[in-house]
Structure 1
Amino acid sequence: MQEFQLQKSKVAEPLDFTHRKRRLKALKEAVLFTYRDEIREALWKDFRKPVAEVDLSEVYAITSEIDHALRHLKRWMSDKYVRTPLAFFGSSSHIRYEPKGLCLIISPWNFPVNLALGPLVSAVAAGNRVILKPSELTPHSSAVVRKIVEAIFPPEEVAVVEGGVETSTELLDLPFHHIFFTGSPQVGKIVMKAAAKHLSSVTLELGGKSPVIIDETADLKAAAKRLAWGKWMNAGQICIAPDYIFVHHTQKEQFLTELRKVVEEFYNKNPTESVSFCSMVNEKHAERVYGYLEEAVEKGAKIQFGGGKEGKRIEPTVITNVPLGSAIMKEEIFGPVLPVLPYREKEDVIRYIHHGEKPLALYIFSKNEGNINYFLTNTRAGGSCINNADMHFLQPYLPFGGDNYSGLGKAHGHWGFLAFSNERAVYRQNIPSVLEKLMPPYTSGKNKVIEAIVKWL
């Protein structure tokens, strides 16, 4: 780690618009064309990720982020002039967007290319230097990320550091100007504590238990299809995956029927053999999720379908009659098991959601605007979809991030640029200010003028 010791006294020359644009274009070319097959192969080796899911959730997620940044970067970088109150007549003010400096990006294993290079797009767009630490749990994907970065960026601009927990700990001891971390709330607390030693700013993209609400007016066929894709893409290893579903008691049986049909349509009758279904990242995570399922069943939960396990592959599984005190209702599942709970009164749903931490996402399926507004108004979440799931992640004109336990700060698009930028206030005095007439000594006349300014301006 000696080569990455930081010099606090040295300030790097800012990277101009042309330089940033050139780097972003080269990154898009690398992901979309040069290394696309290697990305697909690496993700298959790491956890049998289908090519279609790689292209949508890894490649497109990055290239669309780059396209959005290139389309708007000049405007984002431009000084933003603000209004001048009458009391400050003779001055002008603007906001200057400058890079924060040297940034650390620690990326997770569940989307090892997307969640490594996606934040890098924002950091580069904002003109920063970056050290990128990919996950050690997906070694093939991390190797491709390193290969891509080293082909485009000189090490003094972006460097990839591979390694395990010890490497992350060593990096967190260094005085970065900003740290962008994606992972669990538990590790997020460690990152925030480490950042506090150097007063580094942080963006924390965490997780939690993202609920779904299906009311009595919902289109059940559409809900089943969209939720099945949102839940079982990447085998449920998504921070915004539907974690549990509240469905109106009058809709429960029909919804379960529709969901079963969709799962068979997507993955056939033996999903563990389907090339369209991903596996868990490793045996440890598979055992963790399967342990949640077994404990819930022991306590009285009923498996509606699925429940099988072969090595790292767990079938898409739906359970009902789930005891609220079971681990599967307390811990983020991060796997292909989905609890479904009936409800009668809206207030019961709200009370249960408020019982836990604020979720990263909350999904509502309804045709009733009154119900939609009720659930939005009476809950808090990092983001929400109405009549869909997960899709807000890919909408570049929306901020993405959590709230409190599910995250700190926002990312993607302009919000990603702002996360890696310092909004520097610049005040310019153009002609003598009337306020200068009020400098000491303070006379009764000046006090009267100050009183008028306080009261009227």
Structure 2
Amino acid sequence: MSNPPSPSPGRWFKTQRTRLGEPCLKTYPLECTDLMKRARVAFKAGRTLKEAFRLAQLEAVVQMLEEHECDFVDALGRDLHKQPRFETVASELIVVKNEALYAINNLKKWMQPQHAERNLSTSLDECLVFSEPLGVVLIIGAWCSPVQMCLVPLVGAIAANCAIISPSEITAHTAELLHRLIPFYLDNECFYVILAGANALPEVVELKFDHVFFTNREEGSRIAQAAARTLTPIALVLGGKNPCYVDQHCEIAIAAQRIAWARFHNAGQSMVAPDYILCHTDVKAQLVQVLKCCLMQFYGSDPRESRSYGRMVNLDLFNRVRDMLWRSGKVAVGGQVIEAERYIPTIFTEVTELDPIMQKDVLGPVLPVLTVNNLDDAIAFINKQEKPLCVYAYSSNRKVISRLMTETSSGSFCSNDSILQSLMVALPFGGVASGMGSYHGHYSFDTFSHRKSCLLRSTRFDCVTYLRYPPYEDRNLSLMTWASTLSQKSQGWCQIL
């Protein structure tokens, strides 16, 4: 019997969802259990397996973003003071569209079994690796990029699985918008949005999903522990202290522009922005001055009045950054702290390795500038810290770039720019110590798939493999040993078994 059709968006809207503008109620673990059961029934029925179904869902994501661009701009404006349409569209919506379109164009290829190398024993057989969907996955979004951090991993999950999405409650307007819109566009039996508070997330994770994807350093250990109790595989993309080395041989004006944009867009609330600058002593004064000019160019003489400058998401996070700032270094640019507006853009110098600002992720619009005497000191400083999510290097000397790339360890590396490597659909993005697993493009598809090994054998030839059967005799062992030496690239006795 064929599966019943998914409820139409209109019927689902009338019976299951509130109208736009009405408050959404939180989803509790018991409700999550029911949703997961329904999604598992749909998955086991094979609803998500066909290429046509997956493509339709991916195309629906693109359609949702295009038809409700204004709604997303409004929601992010309320949550993060993203007033200009440009920042929301460029940093959130286009990133998701690129992922979805890339998946649409490559899904057929990703779904095809890949042929593995054969040996003497399997020369007449087929060795395949098949990407098998995991099942029902949980995607927990982050508040710093609330649309991107929910929907980019969802694209990878749609390409294989059923999914339950939990946006961050901190960005409440964006979470409620996703909660209302997704049922209009995606299959109502396979994809759900829940509004679960941070305290309830470990209990939700313990419901035993087939995979959990999470991006939040503060809660990462709690989520990992909850997943471990049910042996649930996870992908964690966490933040870290991302160093940015500025060499004495670089285009200071260009470096300052790119660093200032990366650190201060979205009011500095980014896991991939440079956390601190390590610059050569000879260029410190010039770099700080050019950074100041860049901020004036971007946001005017008073960034408070700029429509292009956002605000921190809430007072708790604002106070955390303010407390670190007041106990670290010396203000060089900015330093105005306005609690009522959650406004605190600052560049400061004379920072030491032991200052509070150097002990935790910043996730705010503050940028410490430290100095080093040479490249060796910069590499040694970076390697003393926990492995970061990103390392950035600005230099016109290729040897300097090469050394920083090869002699430091990080989730990603970018030279002469910032952040862009984390947005490339063809590059994997994830951490080393700052998380586990990776995503983007094909890597998202792999994250939400099981790579199943398949050997398709024939029973027509058994002239050699009979040697493996008892009774075991020395003669058979000698023949197996001889056969395993026939190939210079021997893969061992398993060749002839």
TM-score, L = length of structure 2: 0.88
Question: What's 1:165 paired with?
Answer: 198
> Does residue 100 in structure 1 map to residue 139 in structure 2?
no
Question: What's 2:18 paired with?
Answer: none
User: 2: CA distance between counterparts of 1:312 and 1:96?
Assistant: 53
Cα deviation per residue 1:378-434 (whole Å; 9 max; x = unaligned)? 100000111000001221110011112x11001000000000001111101123343
> Does residue 396 in structure 1 map to residue 396 in structure 2?
no
Q: How many angstroms does 1:237 deviate by?
A: 0.5
Q: How does 1:401-420 map onto structure 2 within 5 Å?
A: 401-404=430-433, 406-420=434-448
Q: Return the letter of the residue paired with 1:26.
A: A
User: 2: CA distance between counterparts of 1:378 and 1:312?
Assistant: 42
Q: How many angstroms does 1:9 deviate by?
A: 8.9
User: 2: CA distance between counterparts of 1:453 and 1:440?
Assistant: 18
Secondary structure of the residue that 2:308 maps to in structure 1?
Answer: coil
Secondary structure of the residue that 1:88 maps to in structure 2?
Answer: coil
CA contact (8 A) 2:322 2:344 kept: no
Question: What's 1:387 paired with?
Answer: 416
Q: How does 1:27-38 map onto structure 2 within 5 Å?
A: 27-32=61-66, 34-38=67-71
Q: Name the CA shift for 1:132/1:302 in 2 (closer, same or farther; >3 Å).
A: same
Secondary structure of the residue that 1:309 maps to in structure 2?
Answer: coil
Q: How many angstroms does 1:271 deviate by?
A: 0.7
Secondary structure of the residue that 1:328 maps to in structure 2?
Answer: helix
Q: How many angstroms does 1:348 deviate by?
A: 1.7
Question: What's 2:365 paired with?
Answer: 336
Q: Structure 1: give runs of 5+ residues left out of the alignment.
A: none
User: 1: CA distance between counterparts of 2:379 and 2:394?
Assistant: 15
> Does residue 234 in structure 1 map to residue 249 in structure 2?
no
Secondary structure of the residue that 1:265 maps to in structure 2?
Answer: helix
CA contact (8 A) 1:278 1:313 kept: no
Q: How does 1:170-185 map onto structure 2 within 5 Å?
A: 170-184=203-217
CA contact (8 A) 1:90 1:432 kept: no
Range that drifts further, 311-320 or 78-87: 311-320
Aligned pairs, number = 449
User: 2: CA distance between counterparts of 1:78 and 1:384?
Assistant: 31
Secondary structure of the residue that 1:281 maps to in structure 2?
Answer: coil
Q: How many angstroms does 1:364 deviate by?
A: 0.5
Q: Return the letter of the residue paired with 2:116.
A: V
Cα deviation per residue 1:217-256 (whole Å; 9 max; x = unaligned)? 1110110011111111111100011000001111111111
Q: What is the aligned-residue identity percentage?
A: 33
2:402 corresponds, among 359, 368, 373, to 373
Q: How does 1:303-382 map onto structure 2 within 5 Å?
A: 303-310=331-338, 311-382=340-411
Secondary structure of the residue that 2:312 maps to in structure 1?
Answer: coil
CA contact (8 A) 2:202 2:222 kept: no
Q: Return the letter of the residue paired with 2:444.
A: G
Q: How many angstroms does 1:108 deviate by?
A: 1.0
Q: Return the letter of the residue paired with 1:307.
A: G
Secondary structure of the residue that 2:282 maps to in structure 1?
Answer: coil
Secondary structure of the residue that 1:20 maps to in structure 2?
Answer: helix
Question: What's 1:43 paired with?
Answer: 76
Q: Name the CA shift for 1:328/1:87 in 2 (closer, same or farther; >3 Å).
A: same
Question: What's 1:75 paired with?
Answer: 109
Question: What's 2:494 paired with?
Answer: none
Q: How many angstroms does 1:190 deviate by?
A: 1.4
User: 2: CA distance between counterparts of 1:392 and 1:279?
Assistant: 25
Cα deviation per residue 1:54-73 (whole Å; 9 max; x = unaligned)? 01111001000001101111
Q: How many angstroms does 1:12 deviate by?
A: 4.0
Q: How many angstroms does 1:89 deviate by?
A: 2.9
User: 2: CA distance between counterparts of 1:408 and 1:350?
Assistant: 23
CA contact (8 A) 1:48 1:278 kept: yes
User: 1: CA distance between counterparts of 2:450 and 2:237?
Assistant: 19
User: 1: CA distance between counterparts of 2:187 and 2:118?
Assistant: 43
TM-score, L = length of structure 1: 0.95
Secondary structure of the residue that 2:470 maps to in structure 1?
Answer: coil
1:222 corresponds, among 237, 254, 274, to 254
Q: Name the CA shift for 1:84/1:323 in 2 (closer, same or farther; >3 Å).
A: same
Q: How does 1:4-43 map onto structure 2 within 5 Å?
A: 4-5=32-33, 6=36, 11-13=44-46, 14-32=48-66, 34-43=67-76
Secondary structure of the residue that 1:95 maps to in structure 2?
Answer: strand
Q: How many angstroms does 1:448 deviate by?
A: 1.1
2:244 corresponds, among 208, 212, 215, to 212
Range that drifts further, 148-157 or 333-342: 148-157
Q: How many angstroms does 1:342 deviate by?
A: 1.3
User: 2: CA distance between counterparts of 1:250 and 1:12?
Assistant: 66
1:54 corresponds, among 84, 88, 104, to 88
Question: What's 2:290 paired with?
Answer: 258
User: 2: CA distance between counterparts of 1:196 and 1:400?
Assistant: 23
Q: Name the CA shift for 1:36/1:429 in 2 (closer, same or farther; >3 Å).
A: same
CA contact (8 A) 2:352 2:370 kept: no
Q: Structure 2: give runs of 5+ residues left out of the alignment.
A: 1-28, 491-497
Range that drifts further, 151-160 or 243-252: 151-160
CA contact (8 A) 1:283 1:312 kept: no
User: 2: CA distance between counterparts of 1:374 and 1:138?
Assistant: 40
User: 1: CA distance between counterparts of 2:123 and 2:115?
Assistant: 15
Q: Name the CA shift for 1:106/1:136 in 2 (closer, same or farther; >3 Å).
A: same
Range that drifts further, 212-221 or 424-433: 424-433
User: 2: CA distance between counterparts of 1:453 and 1:232?
Assistant: 65
Q: How many angstroms does 1:346 deviate by?
A: 1.9
Secondary structure of the residue that 2:326 maps to in structure 1?
Answer: helix
Q: Name the CA shift for 1:448/1:139 in 2 (closer, same or farther; >3 Å).
A: same
